[in-house]
Amino acid sequence: MLYDLGLRLNTVKVGTQSMVMTNAPPADLLGPPYAVTQKLNGTRESLLHGGAQLRSVQVLISIYGFPLTPEGEAQCGVVLAHLRARAREVDRLAGYGPITECNAADESPVQRDLPTNQHWAAIRFVLTYLQS
């Protein structure tokens, strides 16, 4: 979904393969906008019949790299709105069981980052997944 919105993720070369490291910014910060994801502490679980568990995890998605212009602010706001609207489309998260539900929670509105001359924003997703 992040790629669909035109966001880059940090890719690190390991041997002959490239691995996505979503919890760190790309080395080249001068390219197009990028996303950084971070798993937050705090999970909730409930037991289902047969021993399976429904668990939840919170993921913070921060988006950066939008120019410090009115157009950059508007573009950042549009990407944030698309993330919020498409939260229910999330169907996987690396290292977790099947995602059964994803909801957009609170968000940080578009803000200025004066040291980098960029706009940024963030949104928190709460994902429920099945663990057997």
Encode the chain (132 residues) as per-residue pLDDT tens digits. Answer: 677 777 766 665 556 655 555 655 556 655 678 888 888 876 666 666 566 788 888 888 889 889 999 999 999 999 999 999 999 888 888 778 888 999 999 999 999 988 878 899 999 999 988 877
* H helices present in 1-132, as ranges: 70-85
Res 26: pLDDT: 58
Res 45: pLDDT: 60
Measured between alpha carbons, how far is 26 from 65 in angstroms, rounded to an integer?
Answer: 11
Domain layout of the chain by residue ranges: 11-131
CATH of domain 11-131: 3.30.2000
Residue from 122, 116, 110, 123 nearest 29 by CA: 116
Measured between alpha carbons, how far is 9 from 3 in angstroms, rounded to an integer?
Answer: 8
pTM: 0.78
